[in-house]
């Protein structure tokens, strides 16, 4: 999609879907990797990479341990921002809005779609807490392997979230720093769109 097509777009999720499909083809690893920024109730921000697992009319979904730093911050301040950067395409997308927890059945279905090793790792990790040494984590995995030889139950703290976009900005690299930027802002059930200076 070139700048002309992006300029003509009227619906941001359709444009995002097109860009994501192009990123799947061009990016070597994890085109769905996104920087997720959260903040404490008093505004101290933190950012980390997560994998976006679904983008649709509901928003941008991801899964995590609710007892992790991001989970605790979302509990006290349910606003967040994301930034996708596709270096091979020289594009980025910035998204901000409210975050809501997904229904438990969504988290259940996704958790059990993962490999057994990933499920064990998710259960064994007390994410964001101090770890005395790697051997402690590896011992926890071995214990869980013995405890759950078949299905591994999803822990209650492992949940899904969806960022409900209020603002989505599309950025395309341009010569001599004359980049193209288009921002969509939600106005009720509709979107407004403006071009920004680079």
pLDDT at 3 over 70: no
Q: Which residues of 31-64 are buried (b: 16+ CB within 10 A; e: fewer)?
A: bbbbebbbbeeeeeeeeeebebbbbeeebbbbbb
Note if 177 is an active site residue.
Answer: yes
Domains along the chain with CATH numbers: 3-115+156-196 (2.30.110.10)
| pLDDT tens figures, 103-140 | 999 999 999 999 999 999 999 999 999 999 999 999 99
Q: What is the pTM of this model?
A: 0.92
Residue tagged active-site, from 177, 181, 186, 195: 177
Residues 6+ apart with CB under 8 A from 43: none
Phi, psi for residue 41 in degrees, rounded to 5: -60, -30
Phi, psi angles (nearest 5°) of residue 38: -125, 175
Separation of alpha carbons 125 and 112, rounded Å? 17
């Amino acid at each position: 999609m070139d700048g002309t097509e992006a300029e003509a777009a009227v619906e941001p999720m359709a444009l995002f879907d097109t860009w994501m499909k192009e990123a799947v083809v061009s990016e070597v690893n994890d085109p769905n990797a996104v920087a997720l920024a959260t903040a404490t109730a008093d505004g101290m921000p933190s950012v980390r990479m997560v994998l976006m697992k679904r983008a649709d009319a509901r928003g941008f979904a991801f899964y995590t341990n609710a007892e992790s730093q991001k989970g605790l911050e979302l509990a006290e301040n349910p606003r967040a921002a994301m930034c996708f950067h596709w270096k091979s395409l020289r594009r980025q997308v910035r998204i901000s809005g409210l975050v809501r927890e997904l229904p438990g059945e969504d988290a259940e279905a996704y958790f059990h779609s993962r490999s057994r090793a990933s499920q064990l790792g998710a259960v064994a990790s007390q994410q964001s807490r101090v770890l005395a040494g790697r051997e402690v984590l590896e011992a926890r995995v071995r214990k869980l392997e013995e405890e759950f030889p078949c299905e591994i139950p999803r822990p209650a703290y492992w949940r899904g979230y969806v960022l409900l976009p209020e603002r989505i900005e599309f950025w395309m690299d341009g010569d001599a720093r004359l980049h193209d930027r288009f921002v969509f802002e939600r106005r009720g059930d509709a979107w407004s769109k403006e071009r920004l200076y680079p």
